[in-house]
Amino acid sequence: MTDGNNLEKVEFIPDEEGEKVQFYVLERTRLGGVDYLLVTDQPDGDAQALILKDITENDGDESVYRIVSDDKELDAVAAVFENMLDDIEFVEDEEE
């Protein structure tokens, strides 16, 4: 995996009332004209990963991302990221 010191950091605010959470960007891709980020909560080792979808409006000053939750979309984007990164494997969280 990429050295954590070289990873771009992004801040994610779950909702208007939520606290900012920092994620490390592992990879980016564009699928069907939509940008996606593969992010993790820790820069090194086994960590939880999320796929964020860019939902920024055309006139938005800041990028806005939403966690991908649709199973079909998640599977498609995860497959793209798995092909891009040799050392990554997606495992579904059993808590959900």
Q: Please tell me the pTM assigned to this model.
A: 0.75
Question: Which residue from 44, 26, 45 is spatially nearest to 36, judged by alpha carbons?
Answer: 26
Structure confidence by residue, pLDDT tens digits, 54-86: 998 877 677 888 899 999 999 999 989 988 887
The CA-to-CA distance between both ends of the chain, in Å, stands at: 26
* C-alpha–C-alpha distance, residues 4 and 43, integer Å: 4
* C-alpha–C-alpha distance, residues 63 and 46, integer Å: 27
Query: Quick one: which H or E segment has residue 65?
Result: strand 65-67
Are 52 and 36 contacting, i.e. CB atoms less than 8 angstroms apart? yes
Average pLDDT for 6-15: 70
